[in-house]
Amino acid sequence: MLVVALAFVVLLATRSPAEGGSADAAVGSLAPPLVGTTLDGEPFDVDDLRGQWVVVNFFATWCPPCVTEHPELVRFAEANRGRAEVVSVAFDDTAENVEAFFRDNGGSWPVLTGDTGDASLDYGVVKLPESYVIDPQGTVVAKLDGGVTAAELQGIVDGGGS
């Protein structure tokens, strides 16, 4: 798995911006499409969440900083129920591992597993974890590399994205 993750990082670091995806989740731009099937088999489209804040979190169960940040995402999601939605995109992980991770660590938001490589490329993910905050109009207002905290996310949402 480490070799695959390393290859992914090398691919992202060496590709030109025009390669590998139709969009890039640049701050100030509309969020790239994010469509798939959730861990519980439900269809998902990030555009259906317009009107509320969205945190798109790219993670893996084998990534130590991802495991460390997870309780912060849970805390943020619980404090902002109805105002903000967290969406997790599992990278290079099995649905079984992800399901066990959420069962053991909490979190009741949409989780996309399976073929999520295009989403990673479209969002311009370079390393895990990486999170993108999308405002209620669908614009990416923040890109956060590494682990996030509930307070950091809350500050972005309360500050209107600034």
How would residue 89 be classed by pLDDT, with cut points 50, 70 and 90? very high
Which range (3-12, 29-38, 114-123) has the least confidence?
A: 3-12
Query: According to the model, what pLDDT value does residue 75 have?
Result: 98
Residue 12's pLDDT is 38
Cβ count near 122 (within 10 Å): 18
Q: How far apart are CA 4 and CA 158, in angstroms?
A: 38
pLDDT for residue 24:
58
Confidence (pLDDT) at 22: 40
What would the two tokens of residue 94 be?
Answer: 């099995």
Quote the pLDDT of residue 107: 96
Asked whether the beta carbons of 108 and 77 are under 8 A apart, the reply is: yes
* More confident: 5 or 133: 133
What the block records as the tokens of 115 is 């073929």
Query: Cβ neighbours of residue 135 under 8 Å, at least 6 residues apart?
Result: 53, 141, 160, 161
Kindly tell me the number of DSSP H helices and DSSP E strands found in the chain: 5, 7
**Polymer length in residues for the chain:** 162
What pTM, to 2 d.p., does this model score?
A: 0.83
Helix (H, G, I), strand (E, B) or coil at 66: helix
Contact between residue 112 and residue 40 where contact means Cβ atoms under 8 Å apart: no
Mean pLDDT value across residues 78-86: 96
pLDDT digits (tens, 9 = 90+) for 10-69: 333 333 333 333 445 788 999 999 999 999 999 999 999 999 999 999 999 999 999 999
Residue 111 is given by DSSP the state: E
Least confident of 54-58, 129-133, 156-160: 156-160
Where are the domains positioned within the chain?
2-16+23-158
Mean predicted lDDT score pLDDT of the chain: 85
Q: What angle do CA 22, 48, 12 make, to 5 degrees?
A: 30
Domain 2-16+23-158: give its CATH code: 3.40.30.10
